[in-house]
Amino acid sequence: MAKRPGGDPPGTRYTPEELAIEEPIKAGRPWPEGPIAMLPVAQLYVRDVPLLRPPKQAEADLLQVLWCPFDHPAQPETALFWRSAATVTDILDTPPEPPAIQFPGYLPEPCLLAPEQITEYPNIMELGKELQRQLEDWRRWQAAGAALDSFDNTPYPLDSSDTPYSKDFYNELYTGRMSLAPGWKVGGWTRWGLTDPLPRLCPSCGTEMDPLLTIASGEWNSNYPDWIPDEDRARSLSSTTHPEPHNPTMLDLARGYDLQLHVCPVSPDHPHIELIQ
């Protein structure tokens, strides 16, 4: 086998034909020129999610969420449209598609929603010191009875406070069983993890903003099986109808994180803000 020529500069190590092939590879895929169509991400009706209603717009009963499938600068840029479903009459048979997307995980797989109302609690970092101390009181947890039996716990020796488990155990119990629900959700509490909790203030009026919608990279994960819907438990073990039952939309945001949208409770005309966590 003939050896590659050495040469200086290093470019002489390749033949002209190989260099011609390498140049467009180095250049990457060209970005589209001019405006591109935004992708539909979610369409939610108040009849399915009764608490979904923008402030001071009682007639709006439909929320449409779109995004640009390119980073701006670290995630897709979203657009919210509050509408009255009765006025939506001119419906496109095929929505426009952009000529390119930055990542395959920015293209949602169409699927239907099955909304379910649940109760969740804030991230443990948002609790005050007194509430965090109460979480470490085993007598309070005993009221849950059989709900604790299946939790994977490891007993620790009793200490002076008669607390049979470690602080980490109680934190994990709260986080895995009671705190933030995984998956897509409307409202609820803000998820934190990449950063500690930070104020989410309206850029127009400074009011604390409310969580509107969480766009998730997955509906659940095996670390917290209690959140797996009953109809998905069998499919979570073996699925022939869908390769990833935990992620029917096939989205992948920032390598598995979620995009959370917050809105101002004062006015729907104030811009919403985005948060990756």
pLDDT by residue (tens digit) across 94-103? Answer: 877 788 889 9
CA 156 centroid distance within chain: 35
Helix ranges (H only) for 28-71 are none
pLDDT confidence of residue 222: 74
Which residues 6+ apart lie within 8 Å of 174 measured at CB? 121, 124, 135
Residue 269 pLDDT > 50, yes or no? Answer: yes
8 Å CB contact between 208 and 264: no
Residue 260 φ/ψ, nearest 5 degrees: -110, 135
- Enter the DSSP assignment of 68: E
Count of helices and strands (H, E) across the chain: 5, 7
Alpha carbon distance 266, 208 (integer Å) = 10
Nearest to 253 by CA among 103, 109, 110: 103
**One-letter amino acid for residue 272 of the chain:** H
CA distances from 277 to 62, 120, 256, 257, 265 (A): 26, 17, 9, 6, 22
pLDDT confidence of residue 154: 43
Q: Taking CA 99 as the corner, what is the angle to CA 255 and CA 96, rounded to the nearest 5 degrees?
A: 100
> Under DSSP, is residue 230 helix (H, G, I), strand (E, B) or coil?
helix
Helix ranges (H only) for 124-229 are 129-135, 138-141, 167-177
Alpha carbon distance 27, 258 (integer Å) = 30
pLDDT by residue (tens digit) across 35-78? Answer: 888 999 999 999 999 888 887 777 899 999 999 999 988 889 99
> Under DSSP, is residue 1 helix (H, G, I), strand (E, B) or coil?
coil
pLDDT confidence of residue 81: 94
Alpha carbon distance 91, 99 (integer Å) = 21
pLDDT confidence of residue 92: 82
Q: pLDDT band for position 91 (50/70/90)?
A: confident
8 Å CB contact between 190 and 275: yes
Residue 134 pLDDT > 70, yes or no? Answer: yes
pLDDT by residue (tens digit) across 189-247? Answer: 999 988 999 999 999 999 999 999 999 999 987 777 778 887 777 765 554 444 467 89
Nearest to 120 by CA among 54, 185, 199: 185
